[in-house]
Amino acid sequence: MKYKTLSFRHADVILREPGFAQESEELLSVLSTITDQEIMDQHESYSGSQKSLSRAINDKLKHYLTDHGWAAESPIFQDTRYSGEKWRLDFAKGLISVEVAFNHGEATAWNLLKPVLASELNHVEKAIQTQAGVIITCTEALKAEGGFDSAVGTFEKFIDYLKPLGSVLTVPILLIGLEPFNTFYIQHRQAGPRKKTGDVVMKGG
Domain contains 67: yes
- Average pLDDT for residues 67-91, to the nearest whole number? 91
Q: What is the CATH number of the domain that holds 61?
A: 3.40.91.20
Contacts of 162 (CB under 8 A, 6+ apart): 8, 112, 169
| Structural domain count of the chain | 1
| Phi then psi dihedrals of residue 179, to 5 deg | -105, 165
Do the domain assignments include residue 191? no
Residue 198 included in any domain: no
Residue 177 structural domain: 3-186
Q: How far apart are CA 192 and CA 9, in angstroms?
A: 47
Give a yes or no: residue 152 inside a domain. yes
pLDDT at position 76: 93
Are 189 and 170 contacting, i.e. CB atoms less than 8 angstroms apart?
Answer: no
Quick check: 158 pLDDT over 70?
yes
Give the Cβ contact number of residue 31 at 10 Å: 20
- The tens digit of pLDDT for each residue in 14-27 reads 999 999 999 999 99
Average pLDDT, the chain: 95
Residue 192 is assigned to a structural domain of this protein: no
Domain membership flag for residue 81: yes
Q: What is the pLDDT of residues 114-143, one digit of tens each?
A: 999 999 888 788 888 999 999 999 999 999
pTM: 0.95
